[in-house]
Structure 1
Amino acid sequence: TGQSRRLSGFPDRRRRLETTDWTRDGRYILLEASGGNANPPSDAMVVDVTTGTLSRLFDDGTDVFGMRVSPDGRYVAYAATRGGETDVFVRPFPGPGTPIRLSSGGGASPAWRGSRELLYVAGRAVLAVTLDQSGTPAGTRTVIAEATLAALGAAGELALDVSPNGRQIVVAIPGDVVSPLLVISNWQRRLPSGAAAR
């Protein structure tokens, strides 16, 4: 209809909400809430569109980023920071359930390729891991692509996505950071009196 409608409210206006995914049946929308006073951890939030209810997806105080729901709606994959290291986890959706760590030595930006294969970014590589019916890794991690120029997306970024047919993978590679060149004329006149002589 072109008309917007309010789905839910968020009580803390100081925190920023970012949509990370939604279920294929359109019932749930996943949000990341970040910022606010004292820089609290990013919360995984979920909106039930049918009721307008907004609730925390996890309630364990973990810093969570980039939640993605499996195509069959059974699992949610996400990056979480624990003990100073960010890794990729999977757990039943909408829960409850125990998280299972999929990456080893760091990982971020998970993306599903079908309901049983999960891709994620680790440093300069895109890795794939196959899951069994219980959401447990069913094999070894496989490197399927590597970047030659730069490290890939950070924990808080959705740097990876997969086409609906699973044949194409899109990876966001950060551009080079270029410092601007500034030219300051008459710079000696800008110094405090007597400083130019020293």
Structure 2
Amino acid sequence: MPTRFTFDAAIDGWSVWSPDGSRVAFASNRKSVFNSYWKLSSGAGVDELLLESDQVSGPNDWSSDGRLLLFRNIDPKTGMDLWVLPVSGEKKPFPFLKTPFEEREGQFSPDGKWIAYQSNESGRFEIYVQPFPGPGGKFQVSANGGTQSRWNKNGKEIFYVSLDSKMMAVLVKLPPDGRSLETGTPAALFPVRLAGGPLPGPYKQQYDVSADGQRFLVNLAAADGAASPINIIYNWKPKAVK
């Protein structure tokens, strides 16, 4: 049975669990602009503001050690960028990718040394992997377009959605030096009918993967989207009641 988690009248969303399950980070526009908050997953306590900004932002992912929150930030000059926020200490955010292109849906690798994300720098969205925090170049792992990357928890595979609506998987080999990357050929796993299509917008996380990488929880569109017909009868006269 679902239980309500936040009770503010504003819009709350884009939620991500902390690795230990003790907290949930989310975005809310309760101060007019979407910013990042967190709260104990038990529901106890108050919603705590993690980051206040005059630019729209919201969480994407949490590092496996629980120290860093990867979040999206919309800059009027550069569009959507990826930033990182330490969730303890000074909590001073720093940019990971801030370019004239759109960088979305960032995901930490299980070992925290890489970030997978989607970018439209080629003219269409593709999936890239880049060392974190750097230095090092980026590596394209998708072919013919891709969105919404997710890591297999074993760190050896990346899933993503192709632009023709297929769930894809590509094997990756992450050397310990964090500077090079070997990838396999992307393979289609199964077709998906994501609600809104493969590009539903920059804020929706449309699927997740089980810890063993064998099961997928997907926000699917209804198989039959056709509406039931409505018949209109003109000049209808009810029968007289005897």
Bin the TM-score by the shorter chain.
0.7 to 0.9
Judged with a 3 Å threshold, the aligned counterparts in structure 2 of structure 1 residues 130 and 151 are, in CA distance, closer, same or farther, namely farther
Specify every segment of 5 or more residues in structure 2 that has no aligned partner in the other structure, as ranges.
1-43, 230-242
Judged with a 3 Å threshold, the aligned counterparts in structure 2 of structure 1 residues 85 and 47 are, in CA distance, closer, same or farther, namely same
Q: Percent identity?
A: 25
Matched, 1:130 2:171: yes
Matched, 1:88 2:120: no
Q: Is the 8 A contact 2:195 2:219 kept in 1?
A: no
Q: In structure 2, give the amino acid aligned to 1:124.
A: S
Cα offset for 1:148? 6.5
Q: Which moved more, 1:170-179 or 1:97-106?
A: 170-179
Cα offset for 1:103? 0.8
CA distance in 2, matches of 1:108, 1:42: 15
- May I ask how many residue pairs the two structures share in their alignment? 178
TM-score norm. by structure 1 comes to 0.76
Cα deviation digits, residues 35-88 of structure 1 (max 9, x gap): x647x4101111012331111111333311100111111111000111421100
Matched, 1:75 2:114: yes
TM-score norm. by structure 2 comes to 0.64
Cα offset for 1:170? 1.9
Matched, 1:2 2:45: yes
> Quick one: higher RCO (CA 8 Å, sep 6+), 1 or 2?
1
Specify every segment of 5 or more residues in structure 1 that has no aligned partner in the other structure, as ranges.
182-198
Q: What CA RMSD, in Å, does the superposition of the two structures yield over aligned residues?
A: 3.0
CA distance in 2, matches of 1:172, 1:65: 19
Q: Is the 8 A contact 1:79 1:109 kept in 2?
A: yes
Q: In structure 1, give the amino acid aligned to 2:198.
A: G
CA distance in 1, matches of 2:190, 2:51: 39
* Match of residue 142, structure 1, among 155, 164, 187: 187
Q: Where do 1:1-198 residues align within 5 Å? A: 2-10=45-53, 13=54, 15-34=55-74, 37=76, 40-50=78-88, 51-113=90-152, 114-122=154-162, 123-134=164-175, 136-147=181-192, 152-154=197-199, 156=202, 157-174=204-221
